[in-house]
């Protein structure tokens, strides 16, 4: 039967959407001005840029890294190393700045796609990164960068896919095989350093997605991850002498998740439930910004302790500190809080705009890192920024384990120089099986798909280090916190 309707208009069928309707991801390394004698560091123009459609980047490893500019710079860098490197402990924890020239590189799956002009080790730079959405202007984050850091960049369009995690796991297993065979030929900083840091940021995106999916089901919330991104980087502190960089100190790793977005709605159209879910999701995601770095870099001999907003607040409360919830009505209470000037200024601005701020009374000290954690929340939506001193929207792991020192050096020096060190560096490689499980949670359509058999199987896959056991190095005992999920799922 043909319905008696007239065709008014028929649109053309096209094989692909026009580029104007795709998201793009832009990543820039920029020069800076200021920074000396307390002057603020400011953006002074792009030196290198990646600008691509997101379908070309999803599932790939993006990174910013640096290499010696010339063979002479490589030799200068090598001159600061001991004659014999039998363990990562033999490596120095700092290097002189302004004596070694470096080239900044933006890479996709290890392939260089953009480079900067020559800069000096320890030079202050900046990074801009973010999505270019259709019919919108570029919405970017701006972060500080020190020449010599390695920064793994993770993007998540609508959840981390099993294919993406399988690809990462395959790469890790390939490197593991070479390390166990002591076959270091062909290995690069992207295989070793990039693999560790990529596993961290991809693991964060996958695990927070999985946890939000579980919590949403339990709370009658419809949840969809929106385009998000973050970084996991080696960290360098720079000491200055009369305004000029003097030394660079390897000071840990930092996870900075500038944009974690989602679309959520209450099944019952309950506004209070929606706001409550958004609040809990934000604080839970903040906690993973210290938990995942701790999992990757802890060993039995050297337990690592990270800091995030969630952890800073918890530590402050454990110390008996008062935790303040500030609004426009009690903004004067900010005067009772000891916090760095940059954070104080940010909190004052947030309060003036009607946001709610949660902050503890005094700085805390974690393995030499001293600072504060604070959350800036939109009370009408329950979403916001979870920050720690220094402007990081994430977590920092300040303790220098031997693995952190090892990857910091591996990020800036050629593979052949550290042959002995690579064997011990192998002790830091974590198996990424847990990512497959978190992805499976995200893809599950019902509780039955997450049955006890599946959970029990995945609980047996640890986050342990794939070390060279003949060297007597213990695996990192990082079993995923599946028991808590099992309880939530009603399986135990």
The string of DSSP codes covering 217-240 is HHTTEEEEEPSEEEEEEEEEEEEE
End-to-end C-alpha distance for the chain, whole angstroms: 57
- Please compute the mean of the pLDDT values over residues 471-487 and round it to a whole number: 30
188 plus 318 within the same structural domain: no
144 belongs to a structural domain: yes
Query: What's the pLDDT band for 158 if we cut at 50, 70, 90?
Result: confident
**Model confidence at 13: pLDDT above 50:** yes
62 belongs to a structural domain: yes
6 belongs to a structural domain: no
316 plus 300 within the same structural domain: no
Find the domain containing 159 and state its range. 22-304+399-462+481-490
Count the Cβ atoms, other than its own, within 10 Å of residue 472: 8
311 plus 224 within the same structural domain: no
Tens-digit pLDDT profile for residues 441-451: 444 444 344 33
**Two tokens, residue 246:** 């003097």
Q: Which helix (H) or strand (E) holds 435?
A: helix 433-443
Where b means 16+ CB within 10 Å and e means fewer, 153-189 reads bbbbbebbbeebbebbbebbeebbebbbeeebeebeb
434 plus 390 within the same structural domain: no
9 belongs to a structural domain: no
Tens-digit pLDDT profile for residues 370-417: 899 999 999 999 999 999 986 556 566 665 555 666 677 778 776 556
Question: Alpha-carbon distance 395 to 373, whole Å?
Answer: 10
78 plus 151 within the same structural domain: yes
- Please compute the mean of the pLDDT values over residues 19-37 and round it to a whole number: 89
- Please compute the mean of the pLDDT values over residues 271-295 and round it to a whole number: 90
Q: 401 or 121, which is more confident? A: 121
392 plus 450 within the same structural domain: no
161 belongs to a structural domain: yes
**Model confidence at 481: pLDDT above 60:** no
**Model confidence at 266: pLDDT above 90:** yes
Q: How many domains does the chain have?
A: 2
282 plus 190 within the same structural domain: yes
Q: What percent of the chain has pLDDT over 70?
A: 75
372 plus 238 within the same structural domain: no
Tens-digit pLDDT profile for residues 43-57: 999 999 999 999 999
Question: Alpha-carbon distance 463 to 431, whole Å?
Answer: 5
Question: Alpha-carbon distance 91 to 86, whole Å?
Answer: 9
Question: Alpha-carbon distance 369 to 460, whole Å?
Answer: 35
Q: What percent of the chain has pLDDT over 90?
A: 42
234 plus 358 within the same structural domain: no
260 plus 314 within the same structural domain: no
Q: Which of 352, 377, 398 is the last residue of a domain?
A: 398
**Two tokens, residue 83:** 């004659």
**Model confidence at 321: pLDDT above 90:** yes
278 plus 309 within the same structural domain: no
Q: Which of 346, 370, 398 is the last residue of a domain?
A: 398
pLDDT at residue number 426: 47
330 plus 297 within the same structural domain: no
- Report the residue count for the chain: 492
Q: Which of 368, 398, 428 is the last residue of a domain?
A: 398
473 belongs to a structural domain: no
What pTM was estimated for this model as a whole?
A: 0.82
Tens-digit pLDDT profile for residues 173-229: 777 777 777 777 788 888 888 888 888 898 889 888 888 888 898 899 999 999 999
3 belongs to a structural domain: no
Tens-digit pLDDT profile for residues 65-84: 999 999 999 999 888 887 77
């Amino acid at each position: 039967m043909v319905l008696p309707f007239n065709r008014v208009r028929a649109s053309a069928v096209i094989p692909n959407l026009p580029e104007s309707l795709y998201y793009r991801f832009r990543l820039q390394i920029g020069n800076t001005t200021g920074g000396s004698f307390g002057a603020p560091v400011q953006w002074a123009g792009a030196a290198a840029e990646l600008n691509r459609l997101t379908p070309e980047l999803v599932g790939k490893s993006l990174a910013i890294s640096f290499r010696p500019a010339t063979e002479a710079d490589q030799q200068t860098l090598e001159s600061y190393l001991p004659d014999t490197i039998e363990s990562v402990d033999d490596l120095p924890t700092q290097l002189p700045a302004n004596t070694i020239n470096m080239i900044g590189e933006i890479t996709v799956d290890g392939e260089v796609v953009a480079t900067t002009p020559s800069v000096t080790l320890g030079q202050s730079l900046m990074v801009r990164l973010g999505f270019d959405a259709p019919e919108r202007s570029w919405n970017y984050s701006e972060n500080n960068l020190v020449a010599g850091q390695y920064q793994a960049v993770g993007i998540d369009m609508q959840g981390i896919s099993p294919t993406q995690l399988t690809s990462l796991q395959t790469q890790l297993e390939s490197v593991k095989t070479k390390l166990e065979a002591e076959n270091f030929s062909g290995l690069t900083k992207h295989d070793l350093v990039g693999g560790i840091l990529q596993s961290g940021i991809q693991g964060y995106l996958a695990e927070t997605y999985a946890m939000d999916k579980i919590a949403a089901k339990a709370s009658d919330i419809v949840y969809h991850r929106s385009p998000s991104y973050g970084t996991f980087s080696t960290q360098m502190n720079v000491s200055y002498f009369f305004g000029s960089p003097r030394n660079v100190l390897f000071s840990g790793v930092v996870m900075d998740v500038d944009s974690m977005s989602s679309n959520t709605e209450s099944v019952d159209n309950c506004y209070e439930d929606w706001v409550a879910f958004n609040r809990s999701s934000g604080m839970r995601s903040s906690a993973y910004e210290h938990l995942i770095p701790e999992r990757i870099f802890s060993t039995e001999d050297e337990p690592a302790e990270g800091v995030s907003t969630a952890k800073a607040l918890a530590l402050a409360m454990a110390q008996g500190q008062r935790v303040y919830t500030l609004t426009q009505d009690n903004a004067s209470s900010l005067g009772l809080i000891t916090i760095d000037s940059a954070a104080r200024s940010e909190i004052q601005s947030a309060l003036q705009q009607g946001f709610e701020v949660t902050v503890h009374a005094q700085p805390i000290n974690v393995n030499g890192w001293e600072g504060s954690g604070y959350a800036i929340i939109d009370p009408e939506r329950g979403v916001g920024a979870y920050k720690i001193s220094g402007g990081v929207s994430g977590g920092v792991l300040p303790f220098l384990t031997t693995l952190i020192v090892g990857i910091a050096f591996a990020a800036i020096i050629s593979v052949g120089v550290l042959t002995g060190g690579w064997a011990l560096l192998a002790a830091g490689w974590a198996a990424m099986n847990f990512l497959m499980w978190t992805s499976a949670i995200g893809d599950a359509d019902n509780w039955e798909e997450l049955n006890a058999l599946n959970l029990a199987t995945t609980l047996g896959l640890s986050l342990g280090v794939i070390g060279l056991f003949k060297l007597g190095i213990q695996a990192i005992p990082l079993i995923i916190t599946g028991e808590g999920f099992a309880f939530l799922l009603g399986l135990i």
